[in-house]
């Protein structure tokens, strides 16, 4: 199929959000000679050093998004909490906005998202949506989730008793059945404007027991072939139903009975896909840009088993960042340290990640666990 070749003259790509995800998009696609700008409210966003243009501003503010976006051919996001009214108006003015504002609106709200799964016959845990904290509730335990504003486990509460319920704030929410989780799986899928779809093989996620942050992601997931295929098929169906152009990161549960349920999706590049940078022929970040510039999608095959661990700020340290104990990981073959360049650390803040690739997945996993223990992010004072 013939497609418009985007590199004649520099395409201008604007990213709403200048965090580590934006930085990694830029890292991965500068070789295509694309002009990239970011808008972010912070003084030194991780992507700012690498972008051709960095605008200090709010991606939630209508006027600021309009002013930024009108200078770009294509706009994308690295966070879903953006002003989609502005994106719709920019789209009407001829700017290509991928993912489409309508798709962002589905996934930025957990209530809308859950209803979408139900409408499309996508398996998900039983749920009820509420516009405020309900008076009558199901039997304990259950899961409460804020409709909007939650991330990395904030805004999610397993409610086991009346005391837990008392601590839940009054806001729009979804109440879900508590799933007996056997495994948490991630599948990243991309779709370009021509309708071509490519999925990455499922990855498996391990979480920090209290902070609700992904601690370790590894690939291939330890799944029987039929379940791996089911996960990929669900991701593909979601890409088809939404007609997304860009990246859809799909998080799934395998429950104790072996059912596959969608937990949630993000219409953007995702922590569960970081290992694709070193472990796959095409990374999620490059694939995202291929999808939104309507290039052919790249091969997603996993070249070697891989494990990735987030590196977060140590508890007890807040302030200017100090890195400690990287020598052993830097001397180990197949180990890659990513530092996001955040100047300030605080407990559990995502500051970087480590990926290890190895023909033996157990070695890759063990290396990441050890290196995460030794590599500490503290502060200068």
Give whichever of 86 and 179 is closer to ligand ADP, judged by the CB atom. Answer: 179
Element holding 30 (H helix, E strand): none
**DSSP H or E stretch at residue 283:** none
Q: Are strands 53-56 and 35-40 parallel, antiparallel or unpaired?
A: parallel
- Least separation in angstroms between CB 206 and ligand ADP: 10
Number of chain positions touching ligand ADP (CB under 6 A): 19
Is 164 among the residues that bind ligand ADP (CB under 6 A)?
A: no
CB-nearer residue toward ligand ADP: 255 or 344: 255
In the block, residue with structure tokens 């516009």? 131
Check binding of 32 to ligand ADP (CB under 6 A): no
Residue (67 or 178) nearer to ligand ADP, CB: 178
Quick check: 314 binds ligand ADP (CB under 6 A)?
no
Q: Which is nearer to ligand ADP, 25 or 252 (CB)?
A: 252
Asked whether position 215 contacts ligand ADP by CB under 6 A, the answer is no
| Closest listed residue to residue 353, CA positions, set 92, 27, 66, 65 | 27
Q: Are 67 and 80 in contact (CB under 8 A)?
A: no
Nearer to ligand ADP, 197 or 205 (CB): 205
Tokens 């052993």 map to which residue?
A: 328
- Identify the residue among 125, 199, 283, 310 touching ligand ADP (CB under 6 A): 125
Residue nearest to ligand ADP (CB): 179
How far is Cα 137 from Cα 206, in angstroms, rounded to an integer? Answer: 30
CB closer to ligand ADP out of 18 and 186: 186
Which residues lie closer than 8 Å to 257 by C-beta, 6 or more apart? none
Residue 192, CB half-sphere, CA atoms under 13 Å: how many?
Answer: 19
Q: Report the alpha-carbon angle 307-310-311, nearest 5.
A: 130
End-to-end CA distance of the chain: 58
Smallest gap from residue 255 Cβ to ligand ADP (A)? 9
Question: Does position 176 bind ligand ADP by CB under 6 A?
Answer: yes
102 binds ligand ADP (CB under 6 A): no
Using CB under 6 A as the binding rule, the residues of this chain from 35 to 64 that contact ligand ADP are none
Task: With contacts defined by CB under 6 A, name the span among 9-17, 96-104, 147-155, 237-245 that binds ligand ADP.
Answer: 147-155
**DSSP-assigned letters across all residues of 239-274:** HHHHT-SEEEEEEEEEETTS-EEEEEEESS--GGGT
* Contact set for ligand ADP, span 253-282 (CB under 6 A): 263-264
Query: Cβ closer to ligand ADP: 274 or 290?
Result: 274
Told to check if 118 binds ligand ADP by CB under 6 A, we report: no
* Shortest Å distance, C-beta 151 to ligand ADP: 5
- Min dist. Cβ of residue 304 to ligand ADP (A): 26
| Bond into 99 cis (ω within 30) | yes
The token pair at 170 is 């009054």
Tokens of 265: 């999706």
Q: Is 143 near ligand ADP (CB under 6 A)?
A: yes
Q: Which stretch binds ligand ADP (CB under 6 A): 65-73, 153-161, 304-312, 343-351?
A: 153-161
Distance CA 54, CA 71 (A): 13
Stretch that binds ligand ADP, among 146-154, 224-232, 268-276, 317-325 (CB under 6 A): 146-154
The least distance separating ligand ADP from the CB of residue 247, rounded to whole angstroms, comes to: 16
Considering only residues 151, 320, 325, 362, which one is a binding residue for ligand ADP as defined by CB under 6 A? Answer: 151
The DSSP string of 326-359 is: -HHHHTSTTEEEEE---SEE-TT-EEEEEEEE-S
Helix segments in 190-255, DSSP class H: 225-242
Select the span of 163-171, 174-182, 218-226, 351-359 touching ligand ADP (CB under 6 A): 174-182
Distances in whole angstroms, Cα of residue 39 to Cα of each of 61, 97, 102: 11, 15, 21
Q: Are 143 and 158 in contact (CB under 8 A)?
A: yes
Give the footprint of ligand ADP on this chain (CB under 6 A).
125, 143, 145, 150-153, 155-156, 176, 178-179, 181, 184, 207, 212, 251, 263-264
């Amino acid at each position: 199929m013939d497609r418009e070749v985007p590199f004649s003259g520099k395409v201008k790509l604007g990213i709403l959000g200048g965090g580590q995800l934006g930085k990694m998009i830029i890292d991965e696609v500068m070789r295509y000679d694309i002009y990239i700008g970011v808008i972010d409210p912070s003084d030194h966003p991780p992507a700012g050093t690498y972008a051709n243009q960095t605008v200090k501003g709010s991606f939630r503010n209508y006027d600021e998004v309009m002013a930024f976006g009108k200078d770009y051919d294509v706009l994308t996001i690295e966070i879903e909490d953006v002003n989609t009214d502005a994106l719709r108006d920019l789209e009407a003015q001829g700017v290509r906005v991928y993912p489409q504002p309508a798709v962002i609106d589905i996934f930025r709200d957990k209530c809308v998202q859950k209803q979408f799964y139900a409408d499309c016959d996508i398996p998900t845990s039983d749920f009820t949506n509420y516009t405020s904290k309900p008076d009558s509730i199901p039997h304990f335990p259950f899961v409460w989730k804020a409709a909007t504003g939650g991330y990395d486990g904030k805004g999610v509460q397993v409610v086991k008793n009346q005391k837990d319920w008392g601590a839940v704030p009054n806001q729009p929410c979804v109440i879900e059945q508590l799933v007996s989780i056997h495994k948490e799986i991630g599948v990243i899928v991309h779709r370009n404007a021509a309708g071509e779809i490519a999925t990455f093989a499922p990855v498996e996620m391990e979480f920090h027991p209290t902070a609700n942050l992904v601690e370790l992601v590894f690939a291939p997931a330890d799944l029987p072939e039929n379940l791996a295929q089911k996960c990929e098929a669900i991701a593909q169906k979601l890409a088809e139903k939404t007609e997304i152009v860009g990246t859809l990161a799909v998080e799934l549960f395998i429950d104790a009975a072996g059912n596959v349920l969608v937990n949630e999706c993000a219409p953007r590049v995702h922590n569960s896909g970081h290992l694709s940078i070193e472990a796959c022929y095409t990374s999620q970040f490059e694939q995202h840009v291929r999808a939104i510039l309507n290039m052919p999608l790249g091969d997603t095959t996993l070249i070697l088993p891989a494990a990735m661990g987030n590196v977060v700020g140590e508890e007890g340290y807040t302030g200017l960042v100090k890195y400690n104990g990287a020598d052993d990981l830097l001397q180990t073959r197949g180990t890659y340290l990513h530092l996001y360049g955040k100047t300030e650390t605080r407990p559990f803040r995502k500051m970087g990640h480590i990926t290890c690739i190895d023909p033996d997945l157990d070695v890759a996993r063990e290396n990441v666990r050890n290196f995460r223990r030794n590599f500490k992010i503290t502060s200068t004072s």
